[in-house]
Amino acid sequence: MMDIIRRQIARAALALVLTVAPAFAAVPVITIGALENGTVNWELQTIIGRGLDRKNGFSLKVLPLAGNPATQIAMQGGQVDSIVSDWLWVARQRAAGADFTFLPYSTAVGGLVVPKDSPARTPGDLEGQKIGIAGGPVDKSWLILRAWNRQRNGVDLADATRQVFGAPPVIRNAAETGQVAGAVNFWHYLARMKAAGMREIISVSQAATDLGLDPATPLLGYVLREDWIAAHPDLARGFARASRQAKDLLARDDAAWEDLRPIMNADSEAEFRALRDGWRAGIPPDRPVDAANAQKMFSVMADLGGEDLTGGLTRLPEGLFWSGD
């Protein structure tokens, strides 16, 4: 399986090089590996479409990849300059010797939703019922919701409910067709589900706040190599500036979203607005990540996720977060 993924990455990378190298030989190229339908493409396409890459001294190229394992293998193998991943993966790689570091991309998280006519008003009301969960038993949103319910009600939702794990579209379908009483999903699937009428009973952001965590701590970010940053400091800073400029534009300008409508795959105007507003809500503060706050969040999740989540880490490694300066 890994050999097949590596061959797919190699073919895609070669095709990208053959396509763009003659036209952009004089401009440094930054290649980002991204899921073909991932929401990071909204930022990346804004950078390209608005010329923010050229204004900051580089040409941005996106290498579409199928699935997170493919993006991670591409990063580990050096086929791309960056991918988007969570800092837990970056921390584990860094602890294992990789010189990866993390530039914040998004704070967007999901929540727990139920059908609009459900009598449930709190997670405790789902006791004994099925909950669909995207991302598996160590999904970070699920762990935070478990910690919240344990603190508030003295009950672990993993013990009080029956969990059904699956891919985000499967969980969405299960929730919308009544196969589960509630669902925890990635933020963009949750936005579509709420636009279709489902009701959120607790957001991960609110749960994190109630636990004393900082919901402004970004979970997702661009993964970069420290040796690449050291060798190309102006290029790296230029990419960080372009990323922030795209965020600032998308935060304030509704018209900028019209350019993205074709790749957002929204089935209705309500869904389009929910996706736009959800993405905007996930824009991280323009400041360095507070490592102490990240460690506190890590400790809460590690308490329930164990080694399956942490890989044996007890503390986040030094140098995990890069500010872009």
pLDDT at 135: 87
Q: In the predicted model, is pLDDT for residue 16 greater than 90?
A: no
Q: In the predicted model, is pLDDT for residue 171 greater than 70?
A: yes
**Cα 114 from chain centroid (whole Å):** 23
pLDDT at 268: 96
Burial (CB count <10 Å: 0-12, 13-18, 19+), residue 305: buried
pLDDT at 20: 47
Q: Which of 146, 178, 210 finishes a domain?
A: 210
Q: In the predicted model, is pLDDT for residue 8 greater than 80?
A: no
Percent pLDDT > 90 in the chain is: 90
Nearest-angstrom CA–CA distance, 18 and 28: 15
Identity at 323, one-letter amino acid code = S
Look up the CATH number of the domain holding residue 82: 3.40.190.10
Q: In the predicted model, is pLDDT for residue 17 greater than 50?
A: no
Whether 319 is covered by a domain: the verdict is no
Q: In the predicted model, is pLDDT for residue 26 greater than 90?
A: no
Tokens 């933020």 -> residue: 187
Least confident of 23-32, 160-169, 196-205, 219-228: 23-32
Whether 315 is covered by a domain: the verdict is no
Whether 324 is covered by a domain: the verdict is no
Number of domains comprising the chain: 2
Average pLDDT in the 187-205 region?
Answer: 96
Question: In the structure, what pLDDT confidence band is assigned to residue 1 with cuts at 50, 70 and 90?
Answer: low
Whether 193 is covered by a domain: the verdict is yes
pLDDT tens digits, 226-239: 999 999 999 999 99
Structure tokens, 228 = 């690449």
Nearest-angstrom CA–CA distance, 49 and 272: 20
Structure tokens, 19 = 């396509």
pLDDT tens digits, 272-320: 999 999 999 999 999 999 999 999 999 999 999 999 999 999 999 999 9
The range of the structural domain enclosing residue 72 comes to: 2-107+217-310
Identity at 265, one-letter amino acid code = N
Least confident of 23-32, 278-287, 316-325: 23-32
Whether 317 is covered by a domain: the verdict is no
Nearest-angstrom CA–CA distance, 286 and 119: 40
Closest CA to 12 of 32, 27, 29: 32
pLDDT at 266: 96
Mean of per-residue pLDDT scores for the chain: 93
Q: What is the pTM of this model?
A: 0.90
Average pLDDT in the 260-283 region?
Answer: 97
Percent pLDDT > 70 in the chain is: 92
Q: Which of 210, 241, 263 finishes a domain?
A: 210
Whether 323 is covered by a domain: the verdict is no
pLDDT at 21: 45
pLDDT at 23: 46
Q: What share of the chain is helix, strand, coil (3-state, %, to 5)?
A: 50, 15, 30
Q: Does 134 lie in the same domain as 222?
A: no
Nearest-angstrom CA–CA distance, 301 and 85: 17
Whether 84 is covered by a domain: the verdict is yes
How many beta carbons lie within 10 A of that of residue 154, not counting itself? 7
Nearest-angstrom CA–CA distance, 241 and 243: 5
* CA distance between the termini of the chain: 39
Closest CA to 147 of 185, 188, 92, 202: 202
pLDDT tens digits, 205-232: 999 999 999 999 999 999 999 999 999 9
Confirm if 313 and 92 have CB atoms less than 8 A apart: yes
